[in-house]
Amino acid sequence: MYLSSLNNEKVKAWEKLLQKKYRDKENLFIVEDDHLVNEALKTNCVKEIITIIDQEYDVPTYIVTKEIMRKISSQVTIPNIIAICYKKEFHNLEGNIIILDDIQDPGNLGTILRSAVAFNFPNIILSNNSVDIYNPKVIRASEGMIFHLNILRCDIKEFLNNLNEDYVKVTTSVKNGTNIKDIKAKKYAIVLGNEGAGVKDEISALCPKKVYINMQNNCESLNVGVAGSILMYEVYNE
Amino acid sequence: MYLSSLNNEKVKAWEKLLQKKYRDKENLFIVEDDHLVNEALKTNCVKEIITIIDQEYDVPTYIVTKEIMRKISSQVTIPNIIAICYKKEFHNLEGNIIILDDIQDPGNLGTILRSAVAFNFPNIILSNNSVDIYNPKVIRASEGMIFHLNILRCDIKEFLNNLNEDYVKVTTSVKNGTNIKDIKAKKYAIVLGNEGAGVKDEISALCPKKVYINMQNNCESLNVGVAGSILMYEVYNE
């Protein structure tokens, strides 16, 4: 179907998906550019495709003007294609878990998602004050790995309290704790903190296992995406 | 000294430091906010301080209006303080080296600098097409770790060709190579590539040792800041 009017109701609805509140309300999000749209298509989560190129897909396809694309895209350089995707429903926990306590930077979150797939942590639990995982910048930084993850946004304190006892609840501590290399467990739930404030005390208190990453004293801390990735890497390669 | 005119020559000179070409010409760069300025002061690289708060430092201090601060800051929310810093001269190589082949994202570069200090890679060599290491976003993402590093921007092909044979030249390869865990050497020169294109073939050809990071097959690659950090982490903890 061809669309050329900026006032079309479809166009207005797509544009709203740039805002978290409408993504939440509609349970939809946008994915931009060929590479990411292809990743989305592989996982059958695409509701419709919007493109400026005259080409049809196996899902409802809208061929639009560059002006429309500019309006609905989050990017300065407009993409050739956008997919409107359904959020996947959270399913039962299987395997390791990453829990994020108020992570703020979209780039850091995207990086963590990418590493989570690389090191087999298929479950991502975000606190209610974390950046929206369906933010276009997060999707981009995840390099499409977001489609392979089981995602839940919730009260993480409650989540930790109700978590099955098979899981060893781990968080980082600069001052004391065990070298991550020396921990052995069957199932891990690793909590990572906010970029500035770290893990909140009340959340840290729910994690019996404190770990550290061995490094030089003159560096206070690592980037949270790096720290989280090294912890997952060690678990995967233990 | 108090300054209130936006037309003051000093103000104009400071503002120019937002551009790479003037940072290169003057051999100066700017550092914003208390935490980073304190890190800079510790390493004696501060030429002068500019602040909106009436306070003197051990270096020439300029107390300015918020309008001036807005003009010379790179940030949307203006800082209370900016330090104008001298770039450090590159000194002889001692210890491990990270070589960056056209890295583009300031956040990724800052993250790598932070991990380089954490895992004792004190030398950073950047290709001429890399993002400027003195870009304010890089400084911020480095969390001040930039002041602890020995930095050179140059033709990295030439650098690799002239590098002392004590160094084992390492780069990543997705297809083949050795697990980074299985490499033992005295001195490492690790080459990391561009976010999209990876390490250029002509640069990769100069690195006899190809390594990989063990991970799941469904993830094509890691963020370059994460990959570089894991390699350094493994070398530091081998």
Enter the ipTM.
0.94
The string of DSSP letters for B168-197 reads: EEEEE-SSS-EEGGG---SEEEEEE-BTTT
**In-domain check, residue B160:** yes
C-alpha B178: how far from chain center: 28
Q: Indicate if A215 and A173 belong to the same structural domain.
A: yes
Q: What is the CATH number of the domain that holds B56?
A: 3.30.1330.30
Q: Indicate if A62 and A130 belong to the same structural domain.
A: no
pLDDT for A146 = 95
Tens of pLDDT, residues A81-125: 999 999 999 999 999 999 999 999 999 999 999 999 999 999 999
- A149 at interface of B, judged by CB pairs closer than 8 A: no
Strands, E assignment, chain A: 2-3, 28-32, 46-51, 61-64, 81-86, 97-100, 123-127, 150-154, 167-172, 178-179, 187-192, 209-212
Among B35, B62, B86, the domain boundary falls at B86
- A236 at interface of B, judged by CB pairs closer than 8 A: yes
Q: Indicate if B134 and B25 belong to the same structural domain.
A: no
**In-domain check, residue A119:** yes
Q: Using alpha carbons, select from B31, B172, B45 the residue that is nearest to residue B99.
A: B172
**In-domain check, residue A115:** yes
Cβ-based contacts of B36 with chain A (< 8 Å): none
- A115 at interface of B, judged by CB pairs closer than 8 A: yes
Tens of pLDDT, residues B182-232: 999 999 999 999 999 999 999 999 999 999 999 999 888 999 999 999 999
pLDDT for B238 = 86
Q: Indicate if B62 and B103 belong to the same structural domain.
A: no
Burial of A173 (0-12, 13-18, 19+ CB in 10 A): middle
Q: Indicate if B37 and B112 belong to the same structural domain.
A: no
Mutation target among A233, A234, A236, A238 for the B interface, most CBs of B within 10 A: A233
CA B210, CA B154: separation in Å to the nearest integer? 23
Q: Indicate if B106 and B6 belong to the same structural domain.
A: no
Cβ-based contacts of A114 with chain B (< 8 Å): 219, 222-223, 226
Which residues 199-218 of B are in CB contact (within 8 Å) with A? 213-216, 218
Q: Indicate if B13 and B125 belong to the same structural domain.
A: no
Contact B236 A214 (CB under 8 A): yes
Range of the domain at A66: 2-86
The partner residue sitting opposite A226, judged by closest CB among B181, B226, B236, is B226
Mutation target among A140, A230, A236 for the B interface, most CBs of B within 10 A: A230
Cβ-based contacts of B230 with chain A (< 8 Å): 229-230, 233
Among B51, B86, B121, the domain boundary falls at B86
**In-domain check, residue B92:** no
CA A64, CA A51: separation in Å to the nearest integer? 6
**In-domain check, residue B60:** yes
Q: Indicate if B115 and B48 belong to the same structural domain.
A: no
CA A23, CA A136: separation in Å to the nearest integer? 11
Residue spans of chain A under pLDDT 70? none
Q: Indicate if B68 and B138 belong to the same structural domain.
A: no
Q: Indicate if A169 and A219 belong to the same structural domain.
A: yes
Strand order in the sheet with A187-192: A150-154, A123-127, A97-100, A187-192, A167-172, A209-212, A178-179
Q: Which residues contact B51 (CB under 8 A, 6 or more apart)?
A: B61, B62, B63, B64, B80, B81, B82
Contact A215 B222 (CB under 8 A): no
Q: Indicate if B221 and B109 belong to the same structural domain.
A: yes
Q: Indicate if A52 and A123 belong to the same structural domain.
A: no
**In-domain check, residue A91:** no
Number of domains in chain A: 2
**In-domain check, residue B91:** no
Which residues 68-107 of B are in CB contact (within 8 Å) with A? 105, 107
Among A86, A109, A127, the domain boundary falls at A86
Strand order in the sheet with B187-192: B150-154, B123-127, B97-100, B187-192, B167-172, B209-212, B178-179
The pTM (predicted TM-score) of the whole model is 0.94
Q: What is the CATH number of the domain that holds B144?
A: 3.40.1280.10
